[in-house]
Structure 1
Amino acid sequence: MNQSYTRTVNPTVKLIVSLILTLLVGFGAGFATATSINSWYSTLDKPFFNPPNWLFAPVWTILYILMGVAFYFVWKLPETTQRNIALFVFVLQLAVNGIWSLIFFNQHQIGWALVDISILWVMIIITMYLFTQLSKIAAWLLYPYLLWVSFATVLNFSIWQLN
């Protein structure tokens, strides 16, 4: 007998998976950063507006949590092509986010990191646009992320210029 059924995932499980997904990327980025923060990074010339090193971890942790909740708000919606595309773009931008730390802190490629973060900025805008079509709350949860990445882009550019 062939029965068709829709497999559903408990909303609580979706929330937990959403948070784990984003926080794992954050953990990976943090690990990549930690290897150079007190060595290579400390030798770079930085602009006057460079925040203290201790600020980055709590800010990024909050941002990854907000991103996870935004992802959850879209994922919990009924499955549609539009929703699936939005989730795919979100995951893609999350990967670009994680790659930045590897390029900047592990490879010490400030210019290529600037290219990556510029692509990330555009992808965040696209993600927010797609999320707005599905969940305005999800899109709004990404605004702090966009603002921080905007600041980080200026900071990356300034460090590239100074070094």
Structure 2
Amino acid sequence: MKLLKVQGELDWKKLTRNVLIPVVGGSIIGYLANRNTQEQYAELEKPSFSPPGAAFPIAWTALYTMMGVANYRVEMKQDTKKSHAAIPLYDVQIGLNFLWSFLFFKWNLRGTALIEMTIMLGAIAMTAYEFNKNDRTAGALMVPYIGWVLFALILNYSTWKLNK
């Protein structure tokens, strides 16, 4: 509960909105981008370190939840600290996150997805930096996301390379 209180306050409405946008948005995007692509993806040669498909929705739900809590914490401090760069950067990185699924799965643009993910990783790092300046906990909540996207970048590169 301490994680959710910012300056002694807990705003359930803001918290719910900030968590549901990435979690529900990511689920909808995942469904739309992956619809009718599973057979094709199954036929791709994948690197040996590729996790099972069931790991992805679990990981992304946890990451989207942490991102939402981080954004909530920064939003709660907006009035007391300068966070002018933090929220727009968050919006950019989540937009890039949602776009990647279409590039990689739906449109089979794995090389383009790799370039886009590199840009996304930079946007996530900048977001984490800005979040950290506003709220150290919010910055820390973004670290697992950075790690997962770095892993996903290597996975994207390896899959692209194996299936050129």
Please, what TM-score do these two structures have when normalized by structure 1? 0.89
Q: Which residue of 1 aligns with 2:34?
A: 34
Q: Distance in 2 between matches of 1:126 and 1:99?
A: 18
Question: How many residues matched?
Answer: 154
Q: Which runs of 5+ in 1 are unaligned?
A: 1-9
Percent identity between matched residues is 34
Where does 1:123-142 land on structure 2 (aligned, <5 Å)? 123-142=123-142
Q: Residue 26 of structure 1 aligns to a residue in which SS? A: helix
Q: Residue 50 of structure 1 aligns to a residue in which SS? A: coil
CA displacement at 1:123 relative to structure 2: 0.6
Q: Distance in 2 between matches of 1:78 and 1:31?
A: 33
Q: Distance in 1 between matches of 2:74 and 2:133?
A: 10
Going from structure 1 to structure 2, the CA distance change for 1:18 and 1:129 (only over 3 Å counts) comes to same
Q: Which moved more, 1:44-53 or 1:29-38?
A: 29-38
Where does 1:84-95 land on structure 2 (aligned, <5 Å)? 84-95=84-95
Q: Which runs of 5+ in 2 are unaligned?
A: 1-9
Alpha-carbon contact 1:36-1:105 (below 8 Å) kept: no
Going from structure 1 to structure 2, the CA distance change for 1:51 and 1:36 (only over 3 Å counts) comes to farther
Where does 1:33-72 land on structure 2 (aligned, <5 Å)? 33-72=33-72
Misfit runs of 4+, over 6 Å: none
Q: Distance in 1 between matches of 2:36 and 2:60?
A: 17
Bigger Rg, structure 1 or 2: 1
Residues 39-62 of structure 1, C-alpha deviations (whole Å, 9 max, x = no match): 111111110000001110101000
